[in-house]
């Protein structure tokens, strides 16, 4: 099968935010370049979404397929892997209705905040927590937290970042844990 070429590797064909995934920031064999990026097929040799796309629409995103939302989206996974699937359908709907360019700008803003958290507020044990938080929390709250963290002393950032993200999650009734299989 021909390799699918995509313009926006940070937002997957199926609606995952690749640039907010811990594996996107990994090293070695577990690192992921983003959906259909260089070496993607080495770590994801049998992606059912890519196979479906090749047979049907050959669109860059599932929301561009005439069958969207198909049964894959009506029966979203109830469990997460390295990244949360919680917002996949709502993110796809947002990209479809507001336009992919606007969605990508917002995703790039979130990605910038995540990079700051990983580089400036990380004690080496917060990558998954930060990825999940940035993926799930509203952009306006993330932006406020980011602006505040930039103004405080570096040694205060880790604890403050965690506290502020947890408080934002509580205000928005968002659980900052991956949904694991029982």
pLDDT at 39 over 80: no
Q: What is the per-residue pLDDT across 94-129, written as a single tens digit (0 to 9) for each?
A: 999 999 999 999 999 999 999 999 999 999 999 999
Residue 122 or 71, more confident: 122
User: Whole-angstrom Cα distance, residue 90 to residue 26?
Assistant: 26
CB-CB contact of 121 with 158 (8 Å): yes
Whose tokens are 């979130």? That residue is 110
Provide long-range contacts, Cβ within 8 A and 24+ apart, for 98-106: 100/8, 100/11, 100/60, 100/61, 103/11, 104/8, 104/10, 104/11, 106/139
For the chain, give the percent of residues with pLDDT over 90. Answer: 50
User: Mean pLDDT over residues 16-41, rounded?
Assistant: 84
DSSP label of 140 = H
pTM: 0.90
Q: Which pLDDT score, from 0 to 100, does residue 35 have?
A: 81
Q: Where are the beta strands (DSSP E) in 31-87?
A: none
Q: How many residues does the chain have?
A: 182
Q: Where are the domains of the chain?
A: 18-171
* Nearest-angstrom CA–CA distance, 18 and 77: 17
Q: ∠63-50-61 over CA atoms, to 5°?
A: 20
Q: For the residues 43-66, what does the mean pLDDT come to?
A: 81
């Amino acid at each position: 099968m021909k390799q699918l070429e995509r313009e926006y590797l940070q937002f997957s064909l199926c609606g995952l935010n690749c640039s907010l995934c811990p594996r996107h920031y990994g090293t070695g064999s577990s690192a992921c370049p983003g959906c259909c990026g260089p070496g993607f097929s080495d770590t994801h040799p049998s992606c059912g979404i890519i196979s479906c796309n090749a047979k049907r629409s050959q669109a860059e995103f599932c929301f561009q397929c005439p069958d969207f939302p198909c049964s894959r989206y009506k029966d979203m996974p109830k469990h997460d892997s390295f990244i949360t699937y919680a917002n996949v359908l709502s993110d796809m709907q947002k990209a479809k209705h507001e336009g992919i360019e606007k969605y990508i700008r917002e995703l790039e803003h979130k990605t910038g905040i995540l990079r700051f958290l990983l580089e400036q507020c990380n004690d080496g044990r917060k990558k998954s927590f930060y990825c999940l938080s940035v993926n799930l929390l509203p952009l306006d709250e993330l932006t406020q937290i980011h602006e505040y963290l930039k103004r405080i002393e570096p040694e205060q950032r880790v604890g403050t970042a965690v506290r502020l993200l947890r408080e934002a999650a509580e205000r928005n009734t968002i659980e900052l844990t991956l949904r694991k299989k029982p």
